[in-house]
Copies of this chain bind each other. A is one copy, B any other.
């Protein structure tokens, strides 16, 4: 026992600063998740074909209302039938086009070992995006600011299970014409991970791409050869694509950047009240949007977006992390695999506080997503209140859950050494394994060491102030911000970005309506 205690004492000392859990040594399994569990299937192969065929029939018979003349032109030239604003899709042509999209997408990041591949068994995780509000225990719930957005970037940078950056909080204190400039500048300087670009008009998209190219130090040509960022296009369910989204899809396709087509199919509201019906609509809209990418630039990277959830039929309020959400996620994975495309899902909750409900709803959604074969987990950390708030404490709670999934995805070795028959014989009947060689050789890395969970006994926990998980998350969040290390960005690139932002601001920024 002494030897273990000594070694454990030593470890304990090294681990005494919580940061050592946060900035742990490079762990490939945390940086690029590989989920080797066979995905859970909600439907039979026949049922998936039925949903697939029904969505093709919707695309053909009902069509999609496309509000962008430019997009309608693209569709028409590709051979779709355009009547007024409605595009009717030829099913065979749809499948031909979708077949051109790559099954695996590697996004380049400016940080070392930060490239991330999504598709098949590979998974990338992103922070929450687009919430108008921010909250923490000190300040409560406030409108988002650039400073708070930067805090979320600091947190996103600090944890290896976060691979991709979401625009967590909307910086409402920055004018809309230059907001995209400051979001992208902060995102590419506070983090070295794959950044996000809003579809807020062609000018804003071009500006954002420009900053990302400067941050990565790549030419326009090099940029077009690999995705260096990603964007999400939401169809306006039911069966509509608006002008801004169409332009974004076209812009991303032309630039060769990743576009995630996510229908906003809330079952019972913008989609049928049945899960099967909602998936028919989701699938139709996703195929329509992804087709446009492949018409514009065959082979451009896309991701099949699933966001199907349901509303509370008593109030119309959207609900997340529900049993129906999980079933839809399982089914969406099957549909995405039907086309051999990466699948996007999310970690979501309708809770108004970073509490037990937030934890269990988010975890329901994460299990649905990840066991359903999700390759791109958006809103993976920080989402609260159905996406209206980014919570600092929820971010830490989510990171803990994500780290648990990252560990879960590490395979278990079955070998003579791990079966431990010698150790079992050494210890004998009624002994313990603390001091055996078998344990000593492995104990430091055998088990997941938590970030947030407190496993101490009640008395010790009470002595330390009886802090619940949310209160402890608050401390970890504050520590994380305090101990954050800004990733190195060469000064010439930094200056080039500053000049670019200043120049574009001087020119009046971007018109985000077109």
Contact = CB atoms under 8 A, between A and B. Distances in A.
A425 interface: yes
A314 interface: yes
Contact of A274 (B418, B458, B468): B418
Interface stretch (A99-107, A119-127, A349-357, A494-502): A349-357
Looking at A270, A326, A327, A447, which has the most chain B CB atoms within 10 Å of its CB?
A447
A291 B344 CA distance: 48
A82 interface: no
A13 to B, nearest CB: 10
Given A65-B430, A273-B446, A317-B456, 18 more contacts: A12-B314, A238-B432, A273-B442, A274-B438, A275-B412, A276-B413, A276-B414, A277-B438, A310-B447, A312-B447, A319-B450, A319-B453, A324-B407, A352-B461, A354-B356, A356-B468, A360-B397, A360-B404
Interface string A129-143: 000000000000100
Interface stretch (A54-62, A146-154, A155-163): A54-62
B314 A424 contact: no
Nearest to A322: B448
A51 B419 contact: yes
B273 A351 contact: no
A442 B447 CA distance: 47
A359 B352 contact: no
A70 B389 CA distance: 64
Contacts of A452: 357
- Which among A12, A355, A385 has the highest number of chain B CB atoms within 10 Å? A355
Interface of A: 8, 11-12, 15, 37-38, 40-43, 47, 50-51, 54, 57-58, 61-62, 64-65, 86, 141, 236, 238-240, 267-277, 280-281, 310-319, 322-324, 326-327, 331, 350-361, 363-364, 367, 371, 385, 388-389, 397, 400-401, 404-405, 407-408, 410, 412-415, 417-421, 423-425, 427-434, 438-439, 442-444, 446-450, 452-458, 461-462, 466, 468-470, 473
A360 B358 CA distance: 9
Contact of A442 (B37, B141, B274, B413): B274
Contact of A315 (B432, B456, B473): B456
B360 A433 contact: no
A434 B269 contact: yes
A136 to B, nearest CB: 15
A275 B316 CA distance: 46
A236 B424 contact: no
A30 B440 CA distance: 46
The 10 closest A-B pairs by CB, nearest first: A277-B420, A272-B420, A65-B429, A323-B407, A357-B469, A355-B468, A356-B359, A356-B469, A359-B359, A274-B418
Among A57, A310, A430, residue most surrounded by chain B Cβ atoms (within 10 Å)? A430
Contact of A352 (B65, B419, B421, B454): B454
Contact of A270 (B58, B356, B364, B433): B433
A47 B351 CA distance: 42
Given A356-B355, A438-B277, A470-B355, A433 B272 contact: yes
Nearest to A328: B412
A53 B449 CA distance: 31
Contacts of A404: 322-323, 360, 364
